[in-house]
Amino acid sequence: MYDFLTESGNFASMNRYGTILIVDDNTSILTAMRYLLEETFEQVLTTTQPEDILKIMAQQPIDLVLLDMNFTLGVNSGQEGLFWLRTIRKQHPQTPVVLLTAYADVSLAVRGLKNGAADFITKPWDNDELVRKLRDVLDLRDEIVSLDEMEKGHIRRAIDHCHGNLTQAAELLGITRQTLYNKMRRL
C-alpha cells in the first residue's frame, strides 16, 4: 500500500480498503465510526438492526463486519453478538468479523475469538488503534490461505502429477481411493 503526505503533513492512504459493515444499536457510535473510517474504507455501511446483516451481505460484497456484542438495553452478556457472529461465519465464512464491546471482559473476548472473530475492540476505543486493527485483519486475510484451499490445491497437484490416475494419487497422498473420491466431491 502506498502512502502520501497530505497538505497538513499527515499520511493518507492512496489505496483504501473495500466495504465495512458496522452493526451497533447506538446511532452515535455509528456516526462516529462512519466519520473515522470513511478515509480508510471505500464504503462504510451501518445498521442498528442485526437482523439486517445477512440481507445487506446478500446485496453486496462486505469485506469486514464490525459487530457490537449487545443490542438489548440493559443486557451486557455478549450472547447476542456471539449469536450474530456464528450466523455470519456460517453464511459468509471468508468475511472477517471484529467484535465491539463496551465491556472489556476477557472471557467474552476469548469466546468470541473461539467462535471465529478476527479480533475485538473495546469501547471507548483509540481511533488510531481501531484503524490499525481493522487494517491488520484485512491484510492478514489476504495473506492466509484456508486449510480447505490448501487441501484442494494439494489434491489437484497430486492428481496432475499422477496424470489423472486416482489410485496413484490416493497412494501419493497417503489416503484411500474412496477418501480421495469423497474429498474430490467437496472440491
CA–CA distance, 39 with 13 (Å, rounded to integer):
8
Local confidence band at 18 (pLDDT 50, 70, 90 cut-offs): very high
Q: What are φ and ψ of residue 178, in 5° steps?
A: -65, -40
Contact predicate 180/170, CB 8 Å: yes
DSSP string over 98-142 = EEEESS--HHHHHHHHHTT-SEEEESS--HHHHHHHHHHHHHHHH
pLDDT at 106: 66
This prediction has a pTM of 0.68
Q: What are φ and ψ of residue 34, in 5° steps?
A: -60, -50
pLDDT at 145: 56
Provide the grid cell at 181: 473420491
Provide the grid cell at 126: 483509540
Could you report the per-residue pLDDT of 76-99, keeping only the tens digit for each?
667 788 999 999 999 999 899 999
